[in-house]
Amino acid sequence: MSYEKVFKLVIAGDGGVGKTSLTNKFITGIFKTDTRITIGVEFFIKDLPIEGLGIVRLQIWDFGGEERFRFLLPTYVKGANGIMFLFSTTNMLTLSHFDDWLPILRNYDPTIPIMLVGTKIDLKAQRRVTKHEAIDIARSRGCSSYVEVSAKESINVEEAFRTLTKVMWNYQARRE
């Protein structure tokens, strides 16, 4: 399969917010309940057809969110075309930590497209972050967009990746 562009996409966020679950669901279509902690980074490839643009090869870098790995992040972010920052809608702390991550995520490119992603929206009874709160944070931090997902219930999984891929495409076109 030939592709028009190759984009490096980094997925970041605190440990346990669902980065690996979302990535696995997008790549394989399967939700695994027994994911293990990501040590450093895991790599995935997916060719994604985008209507009107062609096929984009996504190189997805699923970064381990544990704080002890964070020193590695600047190296992994270098050369990225876009970033998904995930937080759990069931844990306000994971969203408040976004401000700690932002300087690292924007270190090499202050205008890199960052999509803020609220996960675990299927856990309605445990929700602690409203959609309005998350949208406000996304806007005030200069994110390209905000989306809510559930890897478990297959809500907005592919849409999130498609949306950010289109943003990355447009961002690259403006820079060329």
Q: Say how far apart CA 164 and CA 9 lie, in whole Å.
A: 9
Identify which has the larger pLDDT, 37 or 138.
Answer: 138
Note the pLDDT of residue 64. 74
Q: pLDDT per residue over 23-56, tens digit each?
A: 999 999 999 877 666 555 789 999 999 998 899 9
Q: pLDDT per residue over 79-129, tens digit each?
A: 999 999 999 999 999 999 999 999 999 999 999 999 999 999 999 999 999
- Domains of the chain: residue spans and CATH: 5-123+131-153 (3.40.50.300)
Residue 130 reports pLDDT greater than 90:
yes
**Whole-number average pLDDT of the chain:** 92
Note the pLDDT of residue 3. 80
Q: Around 35, how many Cα atoms within 13 Å sit in the side-chain half-sphere? A: 22
Nearest CA among 170, 163, 169, 175 for reference residue 138: 163
**Three-class SS of the chain:** CCCCEEEEEEEECCCCCCHHHHHHHHHHCCCCCCCCCCCCEEEEEEEEEECCCEEEEEEEEEECCCHHHHHHHHHHHCCCCEEEEEEECCCHHHHHCHHHHHHHHCCCCCCCCEEEEEECCCCHHHCCCCHHHHHHHHHHCCCCEEEECECCCCECHHHHHHHHHHHHHHHHHHHC
Note the pLDDT of residue 33. 76
Note the pLDDT of residue 66. 61
